[in-house]
Amino acid sequence: MIRFSNVYKRYSEGREALSNVCFHLGKGEMAFLTGHSGAGKSTLLKLIAVIERATQGQVLIDGQNVGRVHRSKVPFVRRSIGIIFQDHRLLFDRTVFDNVALPLVIAGHDHKEIGRRVRASLDKVGLLTREKAYPITLSGGEQQRVGIARAVVTKPPMLLADEPTGNLDPDLSREIMKLFEEFNRVGMTLLIASHDLALISSLKHRILTLHDGRMIAGGDDPEAEEFA
């Protein structure tokens, strides 16, 4: 599903965010990405979502080198990827329903299909009764659940999450991780960046560890060189 082959990312000011990163995440696998602040976790996720492009090496999604995708085709690549941000990025002048519906509206789905999918997604995250509420009236954990519902409403095969529990208390963090495991059980591929080692170690999924832009644990990929 996701393969990084000798990937480097240098920003314009010369800072090297990722250095010779190699790993493979199989279809239907769930893994955590950890490391200190500034280790390169967010950059790695941005390369998968084609928000950034690798300076060197290959980022392959289902065998497609996304670094070579034309700018006009990037939105089509992103339709197969759900993205969850730590800061939720909700529209506070829109209801919960409208926030979750936004990706479907952009994709051009009809009104009836949008209603069905939005309510199914809200039901999964336990917020079906809050569809008419505005985000400002929700707790931090509920806002994060709205962000999760929005990310999965298009039924993407892959879900990326950047510190999704960073602002939540331990009990809420465990609830959010249980949701991710439920998505994984039905075949979704998940890569979750988190600094909460105690929590992610208890969940028994693979852990990829970055340090100063290098993958120091969990990412050994003996097949990487054949894609170089």
Query: 14-50, pLDDT tens digit by residue?
Result: 889 999 999 999 999 999 999 999 999 999 999 999 9
The verdict on residue 208 lying in a domain is yes
Number of domains composing the chain = 1
Residue 224 has pLDDT above 50, yes or no: no
Cβ burial of 141 (10 Å; 0-12, 13-18, 19+) is middle
> What's the pLDDT band for 223 if we cut at 50, 70, 90?
very low
> What sign has the CA pseudo-torsion 17, 188, 86, 206?
negative
The verdict on residue 46 lying in a domain is yes
The verdict on residue 96 lying in a domain is no
Q: For residues 48 and 226, which has the higher predicted lDDT (pLDDT)?
A: 48
Query: Residue 205 CB: number of other CB atoms within 10 A?
Result: 17
How many residues belong to the chain? 228
Domain residue limits at 60 = 1-80+158-165+189-228
Mean pLDDT of the chain: 92
Predicted pLDDT at 220 = 62
> What's the pLDDT band for 89 if we cut at 50, 70, 90?
confident
Calculate mean pLDDT across residues 128-155. 95
> What's the pLDDT band for 109 if we cut at 50, 70, 90?
very high
Predicted pLDDT at 85 = 84
The verdict on residue 178 lying in a domain is no
The verdict on residue 73 lying in a domain is yes
The verdict on residue 182 lying in a domain is no
Predicted pLDDT at 15 = 87
Name the nearest CA neighbour of 60 among 152, 155, 158.
158
The verdict on residue 221 lying in a domain is yes
CB 153 within 8 A of CB 83: no
Predicted pLDDT at 225 = 40
Calculate mean pLDDT across residues 105-124. 95
The verdict on residue 68 lying in a domain is yes
CB 35 within 8 A of CB 51: no
Q: What is the pLDDT of residues 155-213, one digit of tens each?
A: 999 999 999 988 888 998 999 999 999 999 999 999 999 999 999 999 989 999 999 99
Domain harbouring 43, CATH code: 3.40.50.300
d(CA 147, CA 166): 14
Name the nearest CA neighbour of 177 among 209, 152, 205.
205
Angle between helices 111-124 and 140-152 (to 10 degrees): 130
Q: For residues 61 and 12, which has the higher predicted lDDT (pLDDT)?
A: 61
